[in-house]
Amino acid sequence: MGDGPDSGDEDDPDAETDGGVRAYTVRLELVDEPGELLRALAPIAESGGNLLSIHHERGNITPRGHIPVEVDLECPPDRFDDIVQALRDAGVNVIQAGEEHYGEEVNVVLVGRLVETDLSNTLSRIEDEADAVVLDLSLAAPDGTEGIASARARLAIDSGRTEDALAAIRSIGTDKELTIVEPLLGGEA
Amino acid sequence: MRLAILGAGDVGQSVADLAGEYGHEVVALADSTSATVDSDGIAVRDVLERKVGDDALGSDDPEDVFGIEYDVLVEATPTTLGDAEPGFTHVQRALEADRNVVLANKGPVAERYAELRALEAESAGSIRFEATVGGAIPVLSTIEDCTPQAVTAVRGVLNGTANFILTRMAAEGLDYEHVLAEAQDLGVAEADPTFDVDGTDAALKFVILANVLADGGFALDDATVEGIQNIPGSALDLAAEDGRTIRLIGEATRDGVRVGPRLVPENGALAVTGTRNIVQIETRNAGSLHSSGRGAGGPETATAVLSDVGRLPPL
């Protein structure tokens, strides 16, 4: 599995040419229910990934009561994004993917008529246009759903892509007349 | 040195008051309507008493200031935007007469930096403007000491009014309007606080910093500016859930100027409280330097003016 001819490495200077596969780590967050682990691993195998090891941290519960699982796998570099996508399509929460993937977590605070302007649409636009994963969300609407509300979103973003992601979120904010309070990057803030 | 002071607000008055302590002599003090001018030195205390009593500063015309012998023109008239007049013309006249100029007025340095530097190049005199950025905090002299080329960015909180409002909102869980009214009662915010809360005042200071880093090229129109008027108390509460708070942060680099509300670590260096200011100077070879202190106030800003006077090269 995964050792077939590989032709997808011409764009990726880091791609291994020896055998055409590389090792990756994905960090998942699973609901504590029977069968969840198997359900999470199936998309990896089905998309051409080769499982190397599974570290199931049963004693270590995430703040939302979920169980973190670390999976080492190998696959051709051009298949890796498909594997991550297949996991997401199967409803598995991928909190970190690959050595370089989703290396940064940032918070943004959104302010405005969040409910009237369709918060779930705002969040899916952030995921699509900013290429970020919404890990966590808190909403405060002290004046009711009609009034000005605030939301804090914790986002996972590819390493080195935070500036681009924030620029995309700024432009979504402009579209929807939301104030975006961004984190201060750089220096020792 | 003989100081001619234009502008008799808090800063101009404090410069006149403290000049003697720094070994300087005041030969003129003028506001927009009247002046006291004496090349042997004016009686500062009497003049300031007249000002406090709302009387004219003296029987001379503000125009007479340019007719006497002085070493340094202290430009402390109110900051104006756009053409930055009449401050710019005051500086121009002093430099054309081969005098030194120390500015507390942000307008000319933020809006017409290249013109100022061109005038300075033609003059025997020099300009300095430490007081325009962060009051008593030595920001520009620190950059000068590190050399501007080795400074990669300057970030920080340079508006005490906006910082006071955000601090109170976070601490008391109050909304913007409520805290603004309180700040006005305390005299922290002006009756018209627009320039402070919409980010303009901070932006002018970061434009000046960008001009120093890049040797010109920036004016207020080049800055991306957002204020704090739209930040509700609930946004500060949410930020606190994750150990953050919101501050009106400015950033100046050679590429641009940006001012807006930003998330910073609650216990981080930039999360100063109350009216305190802070700057973080990011250097290529020495990491980040932080300076914090009072960024406004008459005597505080006057110390920056008088330090500049002391740093002037001899004419």
Is residue A83 within 8 A of residue A75, CB to CB? The reply is: yes
What are the domain boundaries of chain B? Answer: 2-136+298-311, 140-294
When pLDDT is averaged across residues B175-189 and rounded to a whole number, the result is 93
Give the model confidence (pLDDT) of B63-88 as tens digits.
999 999 999 999 999 999 999 999 99
Give the model confidence (pLDDT) of B240-257 as tens digits.
998 899 999 999 999 999
Residues of B in contact with A170 (CB under 8 A): none
Banded model confidence at residue A2, pLDDT cuts 50, 70, 90: very low
Beta-bridge partner residues of B314 = none
Place of tokens 């508006």: B159
- CA distance linking residue B227 with residue A126, whole number of Å: 23
Residue B221 has pLDDT above 70, yes or no: yes
Q: For domain B2-136+298-311, give the fold.
A: Rossmann fold (3.40.50)
Q: Which residues of B147-157 are buried (b: 16+ CB within 10 A; e: fewer)?
A: eeeebebbbbb
Among B51, B112, B205, B244, the one annotated catalytic:
B205
Structural domains for chain A: 15-98 (3.30.70.260), 104-181 (3.30.70.260)
Written as six digits, the tokens of A51 are 């499982």
- CA distance linking residue B74 with residue B7, whole number of Å: 8
Is residue B3 within 8 A of residue B26, CB to CB? The reply is: yes
Alpha carbon of A122: minimum distance to chain B alpha carbons (Å) = 17
**Total residues belonging to chain A:** 189
Written as six digits, the tokens of B265 are 């670590």
Please report which helix (H) or strand (E) contains residue B13, including its range.
Answer: helix B10-19
Give Cβ neighbours of residue B195 (< 8 Å, ≥ 6 apart): B201
Residues of A in contact with B263 (CB under 8 A): 107-109, 181-184
Q: From the CB of residue B295, how many other CB atoms can be counted at a distance below 10 Å?
A: 28
- CA distance linking residue A85 with residue A43, whole number of Å: 9
**Domain boundaries B140-294, CATH class:** alpha beta
Written as six digits, the tokens of B168 are 């109170």
The amino acid that residue A123 corresponds to is L
When pLDDT is averaged across residues B297-308 and rounded to a whole number, the result is 96
Residue A100 has pLDDT above 60, yes or no: no
Q: From the CB of residue B168, how many other CB atoms can be counted at a distance below 10 Å?
A: 23
In whole numbers, what is the pLDDT of chain B averaged over residues?
95
B299: preceding bond cis by omega (within 30 degrees): no
- CA distance linking residue B271 with residue A98, whole number of Å: 34
Which letter does DSSP use for residue B312 in this model? Answer: S
Residue of A nearest to B175 (CA): A142
Active site residue B205: yes
Lowest mean pLDDT among A76-90, B97-111, B125-139: A76-90
> A119-129 and A162-175 are packed helices; what angle lies between their axes, rounded to 10 degrees?
150
Which is it for strands A67-75 and A22-30: parallel, antiparallel or unpaired? antiparallel
Place of tokens 């309507």: B33
The model carries a pTM of 0.79
When pLDDT is averaged across residues B51-57 and rounded to a whole number, the result is 90
Banded model confidence at residue A103, pLDDT cuts 50, 70, 90: low
